[in-house]
Structure 1
Amino acid sequence: MWFKLITLGMAGAGACLSSAVVGAAESAKGFIEESTTSVGLRNFYWNADNRNGSYRSPEGEQQSYRQEWAQGVLAKFNSGYTQGLVGFGLNLHYMGALKLDGGNGRVGDGIGNGGIVSRDNQGDPKSGYSKAGGALKMRVGHTELAYGDLFPDSPVLKYGDIRLLPQTLRGWNATDRSFDGLTLNAGRFVSSSDRAQPNHGGHLGTAYSGRQANTEFVSYYGGIYTGINNVKIKLFGSELDDIWNQQFASIDYRLPLDVGGVINTGGNYYRTRNTGAALLGDNRNDAWSTRVGYALGGHKFELAYTQIDGDQPFDYVWNSFDIELDSAAQGSDFNSPNEKIWSARYDLDAAVLGVPGLSFTARYLRGTDIDGRDACGAYSRYQAVRNGSQWERDLWVKYVVQAGPAKNLSLRLMLASMRTGGDYGAIANDLDQTRIILEYPLDLGFLK
């Protein structure tokens, strides 16, 4: 009896899958017909005053002031898929950067030491650099597989795009959307092309330990479920070869109120444990955050609490930005050993005031109880901190042109002030930082 039911169920599932494959194949418009081409320009100004001069430059000198200005371009061609039960396609991209201002003593290296300008082998700022890459892709039904230089996007592995140019990682990635409300992802990558470097063979590693030559791959898997009204659930895991296994879980819930407005609440959790050769030493870290917010019209208020449980900081993949904790800020990640963080945030969509396209964000974060006395391995520098604290204030303004020849041009002003307290100044510096980012996507509709 049970065997017959299982057999019938498998037959039904197979029929549904076959139907989905055939349906997807029939809906394919073609390699060129479904293709998209985009070109985006990004002008980036970076100014950082480290105040007490504790930020060490790539030359080993104490550097208190940095100022950089550069122009970047990112062009992408994403083809459609060839017709048939199995479709094939191609993605291509080109990135270029041109330094407009920034000399020795005023720039980082754009990779591990902040900033936006790349450096040559002699440590001098480059006047310009570029790189190109691509990926082959295949589609069967609602499943897509790609191999090449990719832009993975997940809570445990997310390509970094917070500087002039984005990061790419080389490897394969799979995405499946066969089930309503569920998106599944998996991937494995063997190298990184850093956001301020032209090469594609950069070693993997972590943001707080640097690149690790003996780390051969990073893999991830997981999914996002939105099949329940007003609920989003994420479950992901990853492995960074001979460094860690990391799991992530989150839930986000929106509750529309009859009296008006929406309550938003949720929580995020990361579990990190060393694995294999444990190149960074023993790592047992649990990081979590929870939040509650209220939105009405164009106004939104939010309070959040984050806690880092562990003698090492919460860390993430080198040059990426896979932090889905509510404490991640502009100047600091607020991720130090045993740190406890309270934060408050206000967002305004000025369309309710008659200014569509204008938005404003104000944030304040305070972290206390930083204690790294038992940190070891790659994080042993935290041993100097027994009772540290820090706070940060962020002010962000963005305007997007709504119509006319400059439609979709955006201008962002990002201001951050961060200060250390207790003995946290032994490993971190006070900071005032300004970022001005002008982005303009070119309309290439004439290519269709």
Structure 2
Amino acid sequence: MKSSKSYKHIYTLPLLIMSGNALADNEILSSLADQDKLSIIAKNLVWDRNGLDGAKDRQDWSQAFIAKYESGYFGGEIQIGFDITGMVATKIIADDDKAGLGNLPLKSNGEIDNNYGKIAPSLKLKYDQTILRYGDLQPRTPVFAPYGTRLLPETATGFSLESTHIKYNKIDMGYFTRGTSPAGNERERLYANYAKKQADSAQYLGTTFNPNNQFLVSVYALNLENIYDQYYFSLRYTPTIQDIQPITLSSKVYRTNDAGTSDAGPIKNTAYSLSLKYSLSKTHGVTLAYQKIDGNTPLDTVAFGSGAGAKGDSVWLDNAVQYSDFNAPNEQSWQIRYDLDFSAYGIPGLSAMARYIYGSKIDGSHLDDSSAYFNKYGVNGKHHETNIEAKYIFQSGTFKDASIRLRQSWHRGNKAQSEGNVNDFRLITEIPFSIF
């Protein structure tokens, strides 16, 4: 939803005052104001996680507003600008004895904090088609990705560089030292999610090559200081057959080795997934996927902040789904998925999905107590998860681009698998506002 352009300078003026001498330069003011953007997302989240076999139920209903201001650029060949994201959240209904989903912070006495928020500022330098940023950021890469599925997102503090200077190619670089959790604003050390070992820094380098609508190739490398090195490769191929593209083939591979002082102990695993999707008239889609963790340690990820929901979002394998990532030691898993787009039935904007994943052969018995993953997995672990999802995006009118998304998961596993038996329901409503 858009408001009148004439109100633009009312919103930008307070931010420009903070930049001191910039207000005295009309050319800078004009440059910033002509390019800047302000958007707000109103996000409502209902989450109900029902733990079975004596596990605790976790529930909350909460509301958030996420406002993002992006300035224009000013300067000569090298230009400068800044971004600020302000986030506030409030409890609607949540009981203290059912807390712990990572959407609302907890006080020292264990009670839910009814209101909270955080600010994520950053500076940016632009040269040609290359942008260098420093501040509280949300890079999204297959090896380093602050999580965005809770009420408020995680952030990471550090530098990032993105360049599209080379045709068909995007280059990503990053160096980060701290992060915030979804329900926290304290900048804490980064850590390995499953090993629970902290690191002073994480750095990554990667590239994505997309020469046409048939091929997409990505290569990334990450170092989580003194814990592990991780390498990622993916290839997606969508051949054109009789002027249509009914088939999509995808492969993704992670290789992880312990690094530096090996604070989490020995790590050596290769994780990969292969998938085949067949689409019919862009209405129906059927996907088959296979995933394997080849090694005695799980595929680990960089996590941000502390508490529930701080796990990060950098497992991009095909069988990483709503509740489980199917990434345990030696695990193999299979998935079948069906997608439906209702546009052909006269309801554009409505889509639905259903999938089933079965994982087995989990074996965490080949580790000793020098490993941070020791005793976290048993022998012959197995589990399965069923997901259904429906989403509607408003196509026009006052609420154009607003969305309602329903997600339901049923997860069942034996004791050797360790993630338990859980029913997980989420209802997410997002309403975007474009102020200018």
TM-score normalised according to structure 2 size = 0.88
Unpaired segments ≥5 residues, structure 2: 1-29, 304-310
Match of 2:266 among 268, 282, 293: 282
SS at match of 1:125: coil
Match of 2:158 among 156, 171, 179: 171
Q: Measure how far apart 1:100 and its partner are.
A: 1.0
Q: Are 1:109 and 1:119, in contact at CA under 8 Å, matched by a contact in 2?
A: no
SS at match of 1:326: coil
Matches within 5 A, 1:228-239: 228-239=212-223
Cα distance between partner residues in 1 of 2:124 and 2:182 = 23
Residues 229, 332 of structure 1: alpha-carbon distance in 2 compared, 3 angstrom cutoff: closer
Q: Measure how far apart 1:236 and its partner are.
A: 0.3
> What residue is the counterpart of 1:246 in the other structure?
230
> What residue is the counterpart of 1:134 in the other structure?
121
**1:316 to 2:301 alignment:** yes
Matches within 5 A, 1:253-292: 253-258=237-242, 260-292=244-276
> What residue is the counterpart of 1:10 in the other structure?
none
Aligned residues: 397
Unpaired segments ≥5 residues, structure 1: 1-28, 55-62, 111-115
> What residue is the counterpart of 1:17 in the other structure?
none
What whole-Å deviation, never above 9, does each CA across 1:343-398 have from its counterpart, x for those lacking one?
01111111111101101010100001011101342111235x11111000000000
> What residue is the counterpart of 2:409 in the other structure?
416
- 166-175 or 256-265, larger mean C-alpha shift: 256-265
Over aligned residues, Cα RMSD in angstroms? 1.4
Q: Are 2:405 and 2:429, in contact at CA under 8 Å, matched by a contact in 1?
A: yes
> What residue is the counterpart of 2:42 in the other structure?
41
Residues 259, 78 of structure 1: alpha-carbon distance in 2 compared, 3 angstrom cutoff: closer
What whole-Å deviation, never above 9, does each CA across 1:139-190 have from its counterpart, x for those lacking one?
1121111111111111101121011011110000011111110000101000
> What residue is the counterpart of 1:434 in the other structure?
425
- 254-263 or 329-338, larger mean C-alpha shift: 254-263
Residues 400, 229 of structure 1: alpha-carbon distance in 2 compared, 3 angstrom cutoff: closer
Match of 1:202 among 188, 199, 203: 188
**1:354 to 2:346 alignment:** yes
What is the one-letter code of the residue matched to 1:413? L
Q: Measure how far apart 1:229 and its partner are.
A: 4.8
**1:396 to 2:389 alignment:** yes
**1:151 to 2:138 alignment:** yes
- Structure with the bigger RCO (C-alpha within 8 Å, sep 6+) is 2
Q: Structure 1 runs of 4+ off > 2 angstroms?
A: 29-32
SS at match of 2:301: coil
> What residue is the counterpart of 1:6 in the other structure?
none
Cα distance between partner residues in 2 of 1:381 and 1:97 = 37
Matches within 5 A, 1:296-375: 296-297=280-281, 298-318=283-303, 319-375=311-367
What whole-Å deviation, never above 9, does each CA across 1:220-245 have from its counterpart, x for those lacking one?
11110012451000000000011000
Matches within 5 A, 1:52-201: 52-54=53-55, 63=56, 65-108=57-100, 110=102, 116-199=103-186, 201=187
Cα distance between partner residues in 2 of 1:356 and 1:222 = 36
Q: Are 2:197 and 2:264, in contact at CA under 8 Å, matched by a contact in 1?
A: no
Cα distance between partner residues in 1 of 2:249 and 2:101 = 38
Cα distance between partner residues in 2 of 1:388 and 1:98 = 39
Q: Measure how far apart 1:324 and its partner are.
A: 1.1
TM-score normalised according to structure 1 size = 0.86
> What residue is the counterpart of 1:51 in the other structure?
52
Cα distance between partner residues in 2 of 1:227 and 1:406 = 36
Q: Measure how far apart 1:261 and its partner are.
A: 4.7
Cα distance between partner residues in 2 of 1:31 and 1:244 = 42
How many percent of aligned residue pairs carry the same amino acid? 31
Cα distance between partner residues in 2 of 1:103 and 1:209 = 30
Cα distance between partner residues in 2 of 1:228 and 1:71 = 40
Q: Are 1:373 and 1:382, in contact at CA under 8 Å, matched by a contact in 2?
A: no
Cα distance between partner residues in 2 of 1:375 and 1:49 = 32
SS at match of 2:96: coil
Q: Are 1:261 and 1:296, in contact at CA under 8 Å, matched by a contact in 2?
A: no
